[in-house]
């Protein structure tokens, strides 16, 4: 398997996050456990969440799954801006995904 094939993302899961840090770990874990031969990549946009555990949780996932998980932080800009930021970054990081969720 060549490098491009190894890092191909069939599905990009975008998770905008604000004040739900205790639920995000479960959501990310669920995405990572998907089966069926579909390559899933997760991109979380921390939309200015004020809770310190948000950063801790996202940092832990980034360290454990650097090839499948990316988290970014931005000033609180709202749901649409968070989604758009994720899609924009997703096109740069994993430009070959075929579906967005």
- What would the pLDDT profile of 72-97 be if each residue is shown by its tens digit? 999 999 999 999 999 999 888 887 88
Beta-carbon neighbour count of residue 31 at 10 Å? 19
What pLDDT, on the 0 to 100 scale, is given for residue 8? 63
This prediction's pTM: 0.85
- Please answer whether residues 32 and 60 qualify as being in contact, where contact means their C-beta atoms are separated by less than 8 angstroms: no
- Please answer whether residues 17 and 24 qualify as being in contact, where contact means their C-beta atoms are separated by less than 8 angstroms: yes
**For the chain, which residues score pLDDT lower than 50?**
1-6
Could you list the beta-strand ranges (E) of the chain. 11-17, 40-46, 69-73, 99-100
């Amino acid at each position: 398997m060549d490098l491009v094939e190894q890092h191909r993302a069939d599905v990009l899961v975008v998770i905008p996050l604000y004040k739900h840090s205790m639920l995000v770990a479960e959501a990310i874990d669920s995405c990572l456990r998907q089966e069926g031969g579909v390559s899933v990549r997760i991109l979380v946009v921390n939309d200015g969440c004020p809770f310190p555990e948000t950063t801790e949780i996202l940092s832990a996932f980034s360290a454990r799954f650097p090839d499948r998980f990316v988290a970014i932080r931005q000033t609180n800009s709202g749901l649409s801006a968070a989604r758009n930021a994720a899609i924009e970054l997703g096109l740069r990081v994993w430009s070959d995904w075929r579906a967005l969720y």
